[in-house]
Amino acid sequence: MHDKTTCPICKVTKARPILYSRRLPTGYVFRVSCCVDCGYAFQDSITPEQYHLMNTTYLQYSSAMATQEIETTDLYKQAGLQMEFIDRLRPIPNGGRVLDIGCGEGVLLAYCKEIGIIADGVEPSLSHTAIAETRTDGAVYPMFFEDPRLEIDGYQLITLRHVLEHVMDIHGFLDKVRQSLSTDGVVYIELPDSLCPSVFIAPYFVPEHISYFTAASLKRLLSQHGFTVIRMETFRDNPQGTMNYPVIRVLAKKHETKPIFLMGGPIEYIDLVDTFDKYFTDRRRLLDDLDKKLRSNNFDRGFWVFGAGYHSEILFAEMPEWLGDVVGFIDNDVSKHGKTFLGKLVCPPSVGNEIRVDRILLSSIHEKEILNGLMNLDWTSDTVILSIY
């Protein structure tokens, strides 16, 4: 467990709480503190038991797009952009080995296969692992990277795409990444930019995100673990078109000299506090606007919510008054059908043809896929589809 007053990176200075969450329906309350000296922000109240519970949810991740042609997905395009970025700076040598940690359904592995690179993956969800295995000639390890049973090394490239911010023991994790790389190996990291959290996507301040990095704090952490940044970029205005929210991406190489510790400063701390304040004001405004649209004309039949998952759990913690008007939840995941979620029945998409409503609220991180799916259904033409994005 993170000490409540000690920064996990600096070890010595005091970190101050800068954010408290609302209680989620599961009873989880979380707190984010920020180190005044180095600007690293992190959940300081999470217990090992809560972390373990969250890891259990990763095991249950199931497919949102297994049946789709993978090459047409935004995730595949993203993987292509990520690999092109790496290739421009540090081309993978012939026969070079790649490891994608948190490989999900193997989208990056599939891209690598397409360009003639054999890539391995590590993924805790068995459902994801089974799909990922079909998309690579490499190995897919069905476990967490931190698992001591996993002993692998010699990789020229290790990719951590939206993984590091979920990890509790960032030091042990990065040490293992370093050990798993060849001497000339590089690590690619992509994660949300905490100086620019987007209010338009699945809530950013969530229990799953243990660390809230800025480019500066990530760079400091990497130097501490013997990595030199080759290139670091932040995308605040989403120029790539396929990124869901502003991200930092960095390519770093192992260096042989002893780790360097770079200090941050109070300015970064103040920036983060301002950013977090603004985030909550903007998000509240967004939800109030959505509330008006939801409750405008013809609201007597209530509304369906598409997405019976984590996104909805957080949404309804913020907008509990909506629940009374929810007819039920719709989800593509067949394993959820017939069960209850937040006290309402979860149904397949076809239910929309049987029980008509005037509004459907999309509440998922897979909104684009859902929207495409909805277009193929025979919903009434006057149904208004509202998106939380």
Cβ atoms of 109 and 129 within 8 Å: the answer is no
Q: Could you give the CA distance from residue 171 to residue 4 in angstroms, rounded to a whole number?
A: 17
Pick the closer one to Zn ion by CB: 19 or 38. Answer: 38
Smallest separation, CB 168 to Zn ion (Å): 17
Pick the closer one to Zn ion by CB: 269 or 279. Answer: 269
Pick the closer one to Zn ion by CB: 172 or 338. Answer: 172
Contacting positions for Zn ion (CB under 5 A): 7, 9-10, 35, 37-38, 40
Smallest separation, CB 16 to Zn ion (Å): 11
Pick the closer one to Zn ion by CB: 7 or 247. Answer: 7
Smallest separation, CB 373 to Zn ion (Å): 45
Smallest separation, CB 178 to Zn ion (Å): 21
Pick the closer one to Zn ion by CB: 55 or 224. Answer: 224
Pick the closer one to Zn ion by CB: 145 or 269. Answer: 269
Smallest separation, CB 48 to Zn ion (Å): 21
Smallest separation, CB 90 to Zn ion (Å): 29
Pick the closer one to Zn ion by CB: 9 or 83. Answer: 9
Smallest separation, CB 11 to Zn ion (Å): 8
